[in-house]
Amino acid sequence: MDVTGFWTGEYSYGAGSQAKVSFEAELTQTGTTLFGHSTEQNTFDVRAGQILIADLFGTVTGHDVSFTKSYTNTSSINDKIIYKGSLSKDGHLIIGSWSIIGIFSGSFRMTRAIEQKPKGKVVTAKETEDA
């Protein structure tokens, strides 16, 4: 199943943590290769600005989704963050865990964003010409 598209999600730190960080991601899948970008509110680097940006790179094998996240605009986290999750049967949800080996770990959840449909009537080129 192809995971290409826009996703919204959240991750949390370890068992018992109430704090959740929301993020958005744009994913592209080519064969089993996955790549993309994510953005999230900055919750840990006072020098990086309000929004953190990361590159994503990984694989999709059946319903198994794994990728590494590498922040591009922060000096605090240089480690790659490893995400491993499972894609739901309908292809609209990924649930799993993340880790920075030996430092932090937690869970994450991503939901495929619903495509926006145009509001109102779509005007054709012919109708524009006739106006």
End-to-end C-alpha distance for the chain, whole angstroms: 44
Residues forming a β-bridge with 40? 23, 52
DSSP per residue over 96-123, as a string? EEEEETTTEEEEEEEEEPPPPPPPSPPP
- Please give the structure tokens belonging to residue 64: 């198994």
Provide the pLDDT for residue 17: 66
Residue 103: per-residue pLDDT: 84
For 50, residues 6+ apart whose C-beta sits below 8 A from its C-beta are: 41, 42
| CB count in 10 Å sphere of residue 5 | 16
Can you name the CATH fold of 5-130? Lipocalin (2.40.128)
What pLDDT does residue 50 have? 92
pLDDT at position 13 is 86
Q: What's this model's pTM, rounded to 2 decimal places?
A: 0.82
Average pLDDT of each block of 10 consecutive residues along the chain (131 residues)?
96 79 97 97 86 96 97 80 97 96 90 67 49 50
pLDDT value at position 48?
84
Q: Where are the domains of the chain?
A: 5-130
